[in-house]
Amino acid sequence: MGTYVNPGNENFKAALAEEIFVDKSLILKKLCSVLNTRSSKFICISRPRRFGKSIVRDLMAAYFSKGCDSYKLFKDLKIAQAQNEAEKDFDFKVNLNKFNVLSVDLGSIYNRLKNKNEIVEYLEKELLEDFQKEFPDIEFSDTDHAVKMIQRVYDKIKIPFVIIIDEYDTLVRESENKELLEEYRSFLNSLFKSNELSPTVALAYITGILPIIRDKIQSKLNNFKESTMLDPFGFEEYFGFTKDEVKSLCDKYNMDFSECENWYDGYKIGSLDIYNPNSVVEAMTRRKFKNYWNISGSYEVVSEYINLNFDGVKSGVMDMMAGKEIPVNPEGFLNSLKDFSTKDDIFAYLIHLGYLNFDEDKRLCRIPNKEIRQEWEQALKKAGNFSKIAEMIEDSEKLLNWTVKGDAERVAAALDKAHQTVADPLDYNNESSLKTAIILAYYTARSKYTIVKELPTGNGFADIGFIPLDKKDPAMVVELKYNKDADTAIKQIKERNYPAGFENYLDNLLLVGINYDKESKIHECVIEKFEK
């Protein structure tokens, strides 16, 4: 059993021994269906960190590798149970431990190597040693590259390879050495292109955070079928947890599913809602809902790219922080970190990293959940262009307290500041801009309220409704007016019977009228406690 060649099943055995193991073995049925095909056997999976790519790598190595006997590991998994009447043509044992496997975790090698620029040379040397150890009866030359060693083995024993490269895009993301990148691309090209029509490779499977770069150089890998955050290509259920899987875990650990949904759901990928798997596991085992994203990711990457400040970035971020969905065209992004030229490029990159989610049907982008929202809060503090907004968000707890206490004068002054902070000068008097400013000004209220814009009420729609999660907190109905007065806003709330939309909170309901004068840019506020 080698380090890279036929690595065995120890890693997968360890995964099975974890307190929480979610069975994704049915991906093997999908992979087996493309074995030894002409072009479909080339697959690239791109997902954010800690979305389950590595455990699938270990699952594949344990299943395909002839260097071990994995029957006992798989006999009780879904892949074995797939042999029902409807799928009688599939037998999981047919391909079990029948292939040579070459498995490389490029990210791990890069991180532990002192001289990063020698990674390709180091990998070739390591592979040669592994091949020599695994196949002592085959003569290898010291000048043999990986593709040549694979060919020598196949020529001798006629057993094809399953090639797995995890974090294949490490150098693309981490290195600025152009010569090294070209050397690495040549390595990938020789490994896959020369075998495109050859029986030596039964399956080529690479994973990364970024999809394959769409330029002339990286097009050397254009034979790969890609599954991404934008187009999962039928692989959506295998990376991340589905709603049913999360519900099952919440039942087992007696955890509130709706709260789990609030923290970790929000990734609409293909036809499924997908949850961040690492965070769900942490929450279940620690019995606590909180932000676990920062264990594997860093908000600083968000700060770095939104600070580029292309046209529309700031307004887009503000709208999403206020809970809105914004239109984004992610298809123009070339998956390169050196070719950002529009806000769409920045947002597309953050989609692939998991900091945003894109709904293909709606063509809209948003911040997926509470966990990631907290990462954005931290990112805004570090992004120079957003420092005032971060300060406003930090002050939002004070605004909420002033509102609950009926301190209308302080509320009005805070809204003056918030509107100036958030609004673009060209859109300052825009109604949507004012609503965004108000919702951001009340940002921390999200921890205590469900905030609804255009809330259906008695005889119309209230501009903003605050529905408390705890009935000890007051509900609030907010009506906005322009160039009139705040009393007019309160009058409309009463005349149109907006409190009817808060029938469960009438004993603890605040009426908030806000008027904005477009010439003076001053806000006026009136706060009343509702009386039946």
Q: What is the pLDDT of residue 83?
A: 63
DSSP category for residue 394: H
3-state DSSP assignment of residue 20: coil
| Beta-sheet pairing, 522-529 with 509-517 | antiparallel
pTM: 0.92
Spatial distance between the Cα atoms of 20 and 148, rounded to a whole number of angstroms: 41
Residues in the chain: 532
Structure tokens at 60: 């594949």
- Provide, for the chain, the percentages of residues in helix, strand and coil under a 3-state DSSP scheme, each rounded to the nearest 5: 50, 15, 35
- Residue tagged 């270990």 (tokens): 58
Strand partners, 227: 45
CB of 465 closer than 8 Å to CB of 502:
yes
Q: How far apart are CA 405 and CA 479, in angstroms?
A: 18
Contact 241, 23 (CB under 8 A): no
Nearest to 261 by CA among 272, 251, 271, 276: 276
Give the tokens for residue 9.
């099943």
State how far the Cα of 393 lies from the Cα of 414, in Å rounded to an integer: 11
Residue 258 burial (CB < 10 Å; 0-12/13-18/19+)?
exposed
Q: Please name the helix (run of DSSP H) or strand (run of DSSP E) that holds residue 279, with its range, or none.
A: helix 277-286
What is the model's pLDDT at position 194? Answer: 63
Instruction: Give the integer Cα–Cα distance in Å for 526 and 331.
Output: 47
d(Cα 326, Cα 449) in Å, to the nearest integer? 22
CA gap 452, 465 in Å, rounded: 5
What lies within 8 Å, CB to CB, of 115 at 6+ separation is none
Q: How far, in Å, CA of 43 to CA of 57, rounded?
A: 13
Q: Which of 274, 279, 282 is nearest to 243 (CA)?
A: 274
DSSP state letters, 77-136:
SHHHHT-SGGGTT--TTSSTT-BEEEEEEHHHHHHH-SSGGGHHHHHHHHHHHHHHHH-T
Report residue 129 as tokens: 């040693």
45 token code pair = 């999976």
Q: Which fold has domain 386-529?
A: Trna Endonuclease; Chain: A, domain 1 (3.40.1350)
Domain parsing of the chain, residue ranges:
10-236, 240-290, 300-382, 386-529
CA dihedral 54→60→63→65, nearest 10 degrees, is -100
Q: Cβ distance 439 to 454 under 8 Å?
A: no
CA–CA distance, 241 with 273 (Å, rounded to integer):
8
Consecutive 10-residue averages of pLDDT for the chain (532 residues) = 90 97 97 93 95 96 95 95 65 95 96 95 96 96 93 95 96 91 89 73 96 68 92 96 98 97 95 96 97 81 90 92 94 86 95 96 95 94 89 93 96 92 65 84 92 83 91 94 93 93 93 92 94 84
Q: What is 10-236's CATH topology?
A: Rossmann fold (3.40.50)
